[in-house]
Amino acid sequence: MLGAWLCCWAALAWAQGGGTVRIGVLAYLGADAAVEEWTPVATQLRRALPGRAVELISLDHAALNEAAQARRVDFIITNPGHYVELESRLGASRILTLQTGSTLPTSAWQAVGAAVVTLAGNPQVQRLADLRGQRVAVVGKEAFSGYQLVWRELAAEGIDPASDLRQLLVVGLPMDRVLEAVASGAADAGFVRACMVESRPEWRQRFRVVAPRPEMGFACATSTRVYPNWPIATLRHTDPALARAVTIALLEMRAGDSPITWTVPADYQSVHEMQRELKIGPYANLRVPTLTALAQRYWPWLAGLLGLIALGGVYTLHVERQVQARTADLRQAAREREELEARLRQSREQAEHMARLSVLGELSGTLAHELNQPLAAIGNYAQSLIRRVDQQRLSPDAAREAASEMAGQAERAAGVLSRIRAFARKRVAQRQVVDPVALVHEAVALFRGMQVHAPPVDVVDKLPAGTMLTVDALQVQQVLLNLLKNGWDATRHLPAERQQLTVTLRRDTSGVHIAVRDRGEPLSTGQQSHLFEPFFTTKADGMGLGLSICRSIAEAHGGRLDASAAEDGLGLQFTLTLPDDDRNPTRGA
């Protein structure tokens, strides 16, 4: 406990030292608007890191790329598409994702879309297909919501913006210029970020969003699919201690106190899929396949074609056309098969990642504990072999016995690592209707499977029949796993009758309650008041992020996470409250 407090105190003391924290932000609405939008972030960092200056640097795409490469900024705040490019080119690494911004509240996982806008009285543009042959204004071809998101939807309609539009008018930043071009008649339509029209009443009266599509959990009219919110990311040269201090400070921003809040890093796989389809950003090298690769793939057809050409004449031309048609069909079938296999593989390999990232800090403590014994045993056997060799007392039987024991301990350590890796795999986050009782039983089974000497867990179901929840199932399991592990950590040193954990499910007018109760030693009132603060922990080897992130997950679902002393005075009870289907904010969105 003392060591953990000293470590956190040292990091805070370092972060409060001199120097300037430089944050580069993408100014899609212009430099002044960017400074105004992100000032709450600078204010929070100045308050949390006294003694350090905080500078917001507003830049466009090209200038932000140059500043990041030249190490003139320590952090970047930009759109998801630009971040994925910087991640590939410069090693940018997201530390948090924007939960709510200064305009409209959004989900961190469904926050960014694009709107195709036209004048409210323009009858010629009703669908995306109507853009063919029209004049369209855009910020630039590198703009994420100002061009690329709509490009993907147009490609699905069989429209190539580069050739099928009458004119692609590039107006540059700020994005207001797109609406000005449409209003002046210089363009028939324009591409802007979704929610931009809704944020200004005077725009809503003059403009109309073309082909709006329903997106669950997204409050604005959008003509495209929605993607994760903007991240704040570090660069290769960013000091890790500074990144840690900034992460702690930004996680403390609450919706009631600030127009901007942050949450755990979102999964940007959907952005990768978009850029892969368009062959842009890190996937630009997919645009032109090499002749060698094509020859290796289709050499039987080429050989057959050469043989038919030898026959000459009209018959040869006829066969060549058929081969070309069949080759095109094969290419299309191969692409569809590869895309389907890629989606299935990603669904399997990434199914667990996002909901469980926040518990990896706790698992690192478990990993160290579980690996300590086999590593210590291997070390002891190795030292014994060395001493026997030095004393010339090493017999073949003794060497064989020691080697066998070392191999067994290594296999045990490998098994521990295998369980941890299985727990950390990625997935695509999504919400769905689930049975809360089944969800709890699955979490308990997973918890018991991850512990070497798991305690008994009693599940008490007091829910009415048919009670359902609309939640991200793996994120809720993440919360339950964290609470169960905390309860086990608090009781593992106690007698067996006090090691049992109890999970109770009940429902009232405020929603569905899932209570996890242990029978450990009670905490003081002062300790209970700090339980959900980032990096507060009562464990000697704890990181203190688990409960803070669990509360963020609960709040993202429209619920809450509370802690209270047990009625009999033994241990703590953590209660996760979630709205049922009738009150869940995602229901019908």
Q: Model confidence over 353-389: pLDDT tens digits? A: 544 554 555 445 455 555 665 676 677 667 777 877 8
Assess whether pLDDT exceeds 50 at residue 588.
Answer: no
Would you say 112 and 215 are in contact if contact means Cβ atoms under 8 Å apart?
no
Q: Write out the DSSP string of 289-322.
A: --HHHHHHHHHHHHHHHHHHHTT-HHHHHHHHHH
Tokens for 15, please give them: 């972060």
Q: Which of 150, 161, 158, 166 is nearest to 210 (CA)?
A: 150
**Beta bridge pairs of residue 296:** none
Assess whether pLDDT exceeds 80 at residue 529.
Answer: no
Which pLDDT does position 6 carry in this prediction? Answer: 40
Would you say 132 and 164 are in contact if contact means Cβ atoms under 8 Å apart?
yes
For β-strands 469-471 and 432-434, DSSP reports them as antiparallel
Distance CA 387, CA 317 (A): 83
Which pLDDT does position 18 carry in this prediction? Answer: 63
Assess whether pLDDT exceeds 60 at residue 424.
Answer: no
Distance CA 589, CA 579 (A): 15
Would you say 411 and 405 are in contact if contact means Cβ atoms under 8 Å apart?
no
Per-residue model confidence as pLDDT tens digits over 2-54: 344 444 444 444 445 568 999 999 987 778 888 888 999 999 999 999 888 99
- Return the exposure string of 184-201: e unless at least 16 CB atoms fall within 10 Å of the residue's CB, then b: eeebbbbbbbbbbbbeee
Of 79-83, 160-164, 348-352, the poorest mean pLDDT is in 348-352
- Which own/partner contact pairs does 580-584 have at CB distance under 8 Å and 24+ positions apart? 580/467, 580/468, 580/469, 580/507, 580/511, 580/512, 581/433, 581/468, 581/469, 581/470, 583/511, 583/558, 584/469, 584/470, 584/471, 584/557, 584/558
Would you say 581 and 466 are in contact if contact means Cβ atoms under 8 Å apart?
no
Rg over alpha carbons for the chain, rounded to the nearest Å, is: 29
Which pLDDT does position 351 carry in this prediction? Answer: 40
* Stretch 438-467: mean pLDDT: 83
pTM over 0.85: no
Assess whether pLDDT exceeds 50 at residue 589.
Answer: no
Cis peptide before 174 (omega within 30 of 0): yes
Spatial CB neighbours of 276, under 8 Å, sequence gap ≥ 6: 283, 286
Which pLDDT does position 373 carry in this prediction? Answer: 55
- Half-sphere exposure for 151 (CA within 13 Å, toward CB): 24
**Beta bridge pairs of residue 458:** 502
**More confident call, 585 vs 30:** 30
Tokens for 581, please give them: 């289907």
Confidence label for 396 from pLDDT (cuts 50, 70 and 90)? confident
Rank 157-166, 423-432, 476-485 by mean pLDDT and report only the highest: 157-166
- As a whole number of Å, the end-to-end CA separation of the chain is 45
Confidence label for 306 from pLDDT (cuts 50, 70 and 90)? confident
**More confident call, 308 vs 156:** 156
Helix (H, G, I), strand (E, B) or coil at 503: strand
* Stretch 339-347: mean pLDDT: 70
Q: What amino acid is encoded at 496 in this protein? A: A
Confidence label for 105 from pLDDT (cuts 50, 70 and 90)? very low
Of 21-30, 121-130, 391-400, the poorest mean pLDDT is in 391-400
Of 46-60, 200-214, 341-355, 456-470, the poorest mean pLDDT is in 341-355
